[in-house]
């Protein structure tokens, strides 16, 4: 969790407005909440949550309420909701369609072997074989961040995103129609926001265990 007061303090230094006269705290809270949505659309993994989910009957499934986008299904979970089961593999939908055009109407089972996902439908995924209602899986999805309403609140994001959030807030402050706004600074802060996300993604890729495994 990132205390929003940290963002507000950082903005005071960046915009030479430590007392928040030109850019009131209420405005900074507004832009901080908006920053979360901007980060979510570009890097949903920043809001990833792993849960045990109960599937509905059939192949078509949706992520839990409050979720933003599907990310992964890692494994089956036994009926007790704790004991891990068979791993679930991602499959290409075209491959499933070509192999068995009637896979959506196959016999339902209580253990999932594959899933497929379309980025254009972020809250929906399909499982194979069709699930018996109540089948449990370990599901990873991005969660919609809650808005902060006071300076005492915290943003639903890791503290290392402080710079990213602050750059976005500074961009929005300098973008509005105001005597204090600076369009050139707005562009610079927005570029810094995008660069921070890109640099973080690159760093994560470089240090990922998957990357190390691929290089062996």
Per-residue pLDDT of 68-127, as tens digits, reads: 999 999 999 999 999 999 999 999 999 999 999 999 999 999 999 999 999 999 999 999
pLDDT for residue 193: 94
CA 11 to CA 151: how far, in whole Å? Answer: 13
Structure tokens at 72: 């992964």
Per-residue pLDDT of 189-199, as tens digits, reads: 999 999 988 76
**Domain locations in the chain?**
2-36+159-201, 45-143
Name the 3-class secondary structure at 22.
Answer: coil
Return mean pLDDT, the chain.
Answer: 90
């Amino acid at each position: 969790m990132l205390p929003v007061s940290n963002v507000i303090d950082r903005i005071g230094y960046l915009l030479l407005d430590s007392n928040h006269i030109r850019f009131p705290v209420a405005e900074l809270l507004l832009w901080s909440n908006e920053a979360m949505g901007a980060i979510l659309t570009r890097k949903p993994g920043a809001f990833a949550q792993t849960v045990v989910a109960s599937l509905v009957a059939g192949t078509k499934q949706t992520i839990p309420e409050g979720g933003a986008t599907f990310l992964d299904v890692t494994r089956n979970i036994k009926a007790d909701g704790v004991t891990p089961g068979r791993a679930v593999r991602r499959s290409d939908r075209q491959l499933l369609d070509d192999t068995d055009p009637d896979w959506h109407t196959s016999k339902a089972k209580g253990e999932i072997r594959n899933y497929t996902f379309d980025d254009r439908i972020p809250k929906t995924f399909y499982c194979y074989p069709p699930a018996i209602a109540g089948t449990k899986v370990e599901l990873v999805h991005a969660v919609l961040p809650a808005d902060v309403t006071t300076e005492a609140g915290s943003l639903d994001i890791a503290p290392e995103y402080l710079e990213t959030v602050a750059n976005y807030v500074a961009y929005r402050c300098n973008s509005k129609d105001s005597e204090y706004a600076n369009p050139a600074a707005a562009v610079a802060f927005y570029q810094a926001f995008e660069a921070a996300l890109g640099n973080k993604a690159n760093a994560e890729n470089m240090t990922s265990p998957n990357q190390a495994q691929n290089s062996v």
